[in-house]
Amino acid sequence: MPLAHVFGPVASGRLGRSLGLDLLGGRVCSMDCLYCEVGATDVHTCERAPYAPAPVLLDELTRWRDAEAATRGATPDGDTPSAFVDHVTLGGSGEPCLNSDLARIIAGCRDILPGVPVAVLTNSTLLHRDDVRADLAGADVVLPSLDSLVESEFRALNRPCKGVTARGVADGLLGFARGFGGRIYLEVLLARGINDTAENLALLRDYVRELAPHRVDVTTLSRPGASPRALPVGRDVLARWSDELNTAAGCPQTTPAGHHPTAAVPDDGPCRAAAATDADTPVPIITDTGNLQEAVLRSITRRPQTAPQLARALGAPPDAVRRALDELTARGACAPVAETALPRDTDGEIFHAGRAPRNG
């Protein structure tokens, strides 16, 4: 049975080799961000529900683990599939904290892949809620985003549900951080001409002094977004913002990496990724053509990627990944990303995205 919610691993600039779990099963979100790589939001809501129920997700994760063990076999050191990923990352095509089974999913991930840190991506809109804070308490890492404290910029870039404000999101994140025992990696995504203003930088600089995250990842678009209005900023802007915000937060200095999240020093906490967050770390190779095509399709359905990115994340030869993409394209299961502001990465590689198969 194909996996509908487990995808990757994906090569992540922040989390190394990240195995993704889609907690929504669709584009369900409390925001409709211009830069979102999965496209426009279909269900715009702040209401929690078991969009992807815990038993379904955890059954898939168990099947993924067993299939990986059978396909790759044990390494010379006797490693299990837990050794092939740096984090299990709860995210998907929207806001994962909208899933009311979040706590059960986090606990299940720990049971199925012991020793693998659990990370949760969030747009921070629900962090004012006691139930969400309690659910997130079991995570190792929470990666909240806050792109602007200027209300007009926040509305223009993030397009939140009615009643959600930048100040409210910021206050909710502060309250959550005070009671959370894990690590917090704040992300600020900059879109040229929208939130890259001096006013926003000044407000965020004061804010991170109070929040004191473990690091601040200043990013920009590295893949095509939902709107052509969302354009990347330059390396010089990323470097300046990163230096100023990390200095204000008291974090180690970071270095921009193209249009990817700034590259932080390894974590000094209990996460396994402290020893290896580099997605280029060798893993057993996937050689079965059918398994590779399925893994590629699951990954690019959630996140447009290039052939080299897929090869690094999946532990497969680049030529085999390109052949898999060619076969998937011929079947109508994927296609090169349409010409937008970011049709290619900095090396000229084309992004591919999964799509529904043709009828007939």
Q: How confident is the model at residue 181 (pLDDT cuts 50, 70, 90)?
A: very high
For β-strands 118-122 and 87-91, DSSP reports them as: parallel
Contact 196, 188 (CB under 8 A): no
For residue 91, what are the β-bridge partners? 22
* Residue scoring higher pLDDT (294 or 75): 294
Dihedral angle of Cα 97, 99, 10, 166, to the nearest 10 degrees: -30
- Tokens linked to 24: 């929504």
Q: How confident is the model at residue 166 (pLDDT cuts 50, 70, 90)?
A: very high
pLDDT tens column, 225-245:
788 889 999 999 999 999 999
pLDDT on residue 72: 64
pLDDT tens column, 268-312:
222 222 222 333 344 444 556 677 888 888 777 766 778 887 887
Percentage of the chain lying above the pLDDT 70 cut: 80
Place of tokens 């990163």: 242
Taking alpha carbons only, the member of 9, 52, 30 closest to residue 299 is 9
180, pLDDT greater than 60: yes
* Residue scoring higher pLDDT (130 or 330): 130
Between the CA of residue 208 and those of 245, 256, 297, what are the distances in Å? 7, 19, 38
pLDDT on residue 267: 30
For the entire predicted model, the pTM comes to 0.75
Contact 274, 313 (CB under 8 A): no
314, pLDDT greater than 70: yes
Find which of 106-115, 256-265, 268-277, 295-304 is predicted with most confidence, using mean pLDDT.
106-115
pLDDT tens column, 208-221:
999 999 999 999 98
- Tokens linked to 190: 């900059």
pLDDT tens column, 10-56:
878 788 889 999 999 999 999 999 999 888 899 999 999 999 999 99
